[in-house]
Amino acid sequence: MCLSTTFLHAQATYDVVIYGGTSAAVTSAVQAKRMGKSVIIVSPDKHLGGLSAGGLGWTDSGNKAAIGGLSREFYHRVWEVYQEPETWRWQDRETYGNKGQGAPAIDGEQRTMWIFEPHVAERVFDEMVADNDIPVVRDEWLNRESGQGVEMQEHRIIAITTLSGKTYRGRMFIDATYEGDLMAAAGVDYHVGREANSVYGETWNGIQVGVLHHGHWFKKPVDPYVIPGDPNSGLLPRISGEDPGIRGEGDHRIQAYCFRMCLTNDDRNRIPFPKPEGYDASQYELALRVFDTGWREHFGKFDPIPNHKTDTNNHGPFSTDNIGLNYDYPEASYARRQEIIKEHEVYQQGLMYFLANDPRVPEDVRSKMATWGLPKDEFTDNGGWPHQIYVREARRLVGKYVMTEQDCLDQRETPESIGMGSYTLDSHNVQRYVTPEGLVQNEGDIGVHAPRPYEIAYGSLVPKQGQCDNLLVPVCVSSSHIAFGSIRMEPVFMILGQSAATAACMSLDANIAVQDLPYDELKTQLLKDGQVLELDVPAHAAAKSVELQGTVVDDHDAKTTGSWTRSTANGPFVGYGYQHDGNTDKGKKSTVFTAKLSAGRYEVRLAYSANDNRASNVPVTIHHRDGETVVHVDQRKKPPINDITVSLGIFDFGTKAVVEVSNAGTDGYVIADAVQFRKAKE
């Protein structure tokens, strides 16, 4: 009799057992395998990649220089897929341009693509697993009944058992789920909801009544009652009648969930928005009142990804975020979670159907929305609808070290870095309530800029000493609500997954608890494997950084001759700084920017930050198909294009473009920041 492969997997004892199907689960598994360990992914999901393969194709990356290791490898492999002509099924590659592509290294090996379609991401995750011969069992759900799903022995997990009755034994375990189910079942400390500011001495945690960020709030007065002005008529749907609480106090609430829809307006690939079973147009009455105020920004987050598609996110006071309907999700049973997910699905599908079809929706909105729909070639086993709801936060470990806003805002030194974050401290709305003035308002939306890429402590991945010696948690990391608002980005989850697996393997080799792993040894291995653990960026630098569209070559990826000095003293600039020649050794210093392009005509722009001490006559040589052109740039004058670039002209290039900045004969400091190439209109 032949035993099934799944049964055989369930009988083995693995060095590392990873529970979860997220992007962090994949990088954890790949790292463990590359370190010579036996590993298995036990995934409750049928599809690998979590949100990265579930519609979030417009990557929230922050400072890309802080992203290394397997996380950067993923985005490089995505770029490789988009070099295949057959990937461009619905759109000409040149028409889409170079949006979302990182700056090329000279040899081209580190090119990255940060904007992508869901099926491309899933393909890359599947290939990473296959290339490393990693066993994956799918649709296997941890048995969360007390004492049945996790076998413990002297503060160590020995095995986990799924609802199907299969048991997976291991020496190290990684919880890579969005929900933190394994860590909860293992009995370690965790938290759900917002902590009061007083808990960790924070400013941006807790209830945020009166704080209005991002524009996801009611800017103009909107009446919340069924009959305007009559509280006795009751509240419109999707508005809470509860007291919102006191600013700065903690509560049980969590930020809103939604689906990151992938939409298309290409009729060849478009499924018109379906009318979901259970559709109730009255659920969207509040949207009509928002439109009555003149609000017309509904399409503000239809972010374009390749092949005439979008990553569509929540935008505005009444949008795809289903505010207040997810509070019990983190601790809920599987059955209750499915109810919550279904409610979110009906709400969001119904919203799109409503906006595209209901005659009460303003015609300019309705007619435009009707041109959009779900793509036939995405989520093909689910009618074009994402298979992963956006769990923006659930449980959070309370571990050996708790990351707080002080770490993210560079207000204290973070110990034992195992990766970096840099995104804004970001929380979506948590509740929608009635103000004392009798108006509707949203609460909880926060967007606080991180002044520089910040370190993430190793202690945030591991439970407190003595709670569980062989568990690491790279997704539901030990952090406050507001710190998690920045950490919770997909590139960071992949970074932390790799670091967690590295620590697991090294702890196995040393036969010690993960809490006792010597950091210096861990750091050496992480750096060897390409992780970025720190960046020499002053605290004020990130605030001056801008991102340009098109093909951009940063000074970080350029070749220099002579001794240049890196600086962040004057902004704006591209990336995390620029270089200057120190106003010395005139004629002996140059910086060469090289780009790989699709042959054609491009406008070339030079980025620099102006100052009175700059040179007024910087020679910039453009090497193009017709020869060389030298343009002299006055870097004392503010760049005319968005205060960051100046046009050097339009030139015809083959597949390679070279631009050289020299300090020959210059009369001041020469700045080398970045060169931007924009496809010229024919």
Please, are residues 134 and 174 in contact by the beta-carbon 8 Å criterion?
A: no
Judged by average pLDDT, the poorest of 332-346, 446-460, 467-481 is 446-460
What gap in Å lies between CA 31 and CA 68, rounded to an integer?
13
What lies within 8 Å, CB to CB, of 443 at 6+ separation is 207, 208, 209, 211, 244, 429, 430, 431, 432, 433
What gap in Å lies between CA 425 and CA 485, rounded to an integer?
5
Q: Which two tokens stand for residue 60?
A: 């929230």
Q: Is the pLDDT of residue 109 over 70?
A: no
Q: Is the pLDDT of residue 181 over 80?
A: yes
pLDDT tens track for 132-167: 999 999 999 999 998 899 999 999 999 999 999 999
- Whole-model pTM: value is 0.82
> Is 384 buried (19+), middle (13-18) or exposed (0-12) by CB count in 10 A?
buried
What gap in Å lies between CA 620 and CA 603, rounded to an integer?
14
Average pLDDT of the residues in 458-473: 98
pLDDT score, position 2: 44
What gap in Å lies between CA 626 and CA 618, rounded to an integer?
22
Average pLDDT of the residues in 565-575: 80
Type of residue at 103? A
Please, are residues 608 and 671 in contact by the beta-carbon 8 Å criterion?
A: yes
What gap in Å lies between CA 647 and CA 1, rounded to an integer?
73
Instruction: Calculate what percentage of the chain has a pLDDT beyond 70.
Output: 96
Q: Is the pLDDT of residue 105 over 60?
A: no
Average pLDDT of the residues in 456-471: 98
pLDDT score, position 10: 61
Type of residue at 673? D
CA-nearest of 442, 482, 417, 459 to 200 is: 482
Instruction: For residue 360, give Cα distances in angstroms to 227, 279, 280, 285, 446.
Output: 17, 16, 14, 10, 32
pLDDT score, position 100: 78
pLDDT tens track for 375-422: 999 999 999 999 999 999 999 999 999 999 999 998 899 999 999 999
Q: Partners of 586 in the beta sheet? A: none
Q: Is the peptide bond before 272 cis (omega within 30 degrees of 0)?
A: no
Q: Partners of 674 in the beta sheet? A: 554, 607
pLDDT tens track for 46-98: 999 999 999 999 998 888 889 999 999 999 999 999 999 999 999 998 888 87
pLDDT score, position 101: 80
What gap in Å lies between CA 385 and CA 341, rounded to an integer?
12
Confidence of residue 541 (pLDDT cuts 50, 70, 90): low
Q: Partners of 433 in the beta sheet? A: 441
Question: Could you tell me the CATH superfamily of domain 548-679?
Answer: Galactose-binding domain-like (2.60.120.260)
Number of C-alpha atoms within 13 angstroms, CB side, residue 256?
Answer: 30
pLDDT score, position 94: 87
What gap in Å lies between CA 373 and CA 309, rounded to an integer?
10
Dihedral pair phi/psi, residue 479, rounded to 5°:
-165, 160
pLDDT tens track for 333-380: 999 999 999 999 999 999 999 999 999 999 999 999 999 999 999 999
Average pLDDT of the residues in 660-675: 96
Q: Is the pLDDT of residue 540 over 80?
A: no
Q: Is the pLDDT of residue 549 over 90?
A: no
What gap in Å lies between CA 398 and CA 116, rounded to an integer?
34
DSSP-H helix ranges across 311-361: 334-357
pLDDT score, position 539: 58
Instruction: Calculate what percentage of the chain has a pLDDT beyond 90.
Output: 83
pLDDT score, position 107: 37
Q: Which two tokens stand for residue 348?
A: 């969001």
Confidence of residue 557 (pLDDT cuts 50, 70, 90): confident
What gap in Å lies between CA 353 and CA 365, rounded to an integer?
12
pLDDT tens track for 188-200: 999 999 999 999 9
Judged by average pLDDT, the poorest of 105-109, 228-232, 269-273, 546-550 is 105-109
Confidence of residue 490 (pLDDT cuts 50, 70, 90): very high
Number of C-alpha atoms within 13 angstroms, CB side, residue 551?
Answer: 26
Please, are residues 373 and 360 in contact by the beta-carbon 8 Å criterion?
A: no
pLDDT tens track for 286-327: 999 999 999 999 899 999 999 999 999 999 999 999 999 999
pLDDT tens track for 235-289: 999 999 999 999 999 999 999 999 999 999 999 999 999 999 999 999 999 999 9
More confident of the two residues 61 and 534: 534
Confidence of residue 1 (pLDDT cuts 50, 70, 90): very low
Q: Is the pLDDT of residue 3 over 60?
A: no
Residue pointed to by tokens 């801008």:
546
8-state DSSP, 24: H
pLDDT score, position 390: 98
Confidence of residue 5 (pLDDT cuts 50, 70, 90): low
For residue 462, the SS3 value is coil
What gap in Å lies between CA 517 and CA 467, rounded to an integer?
15
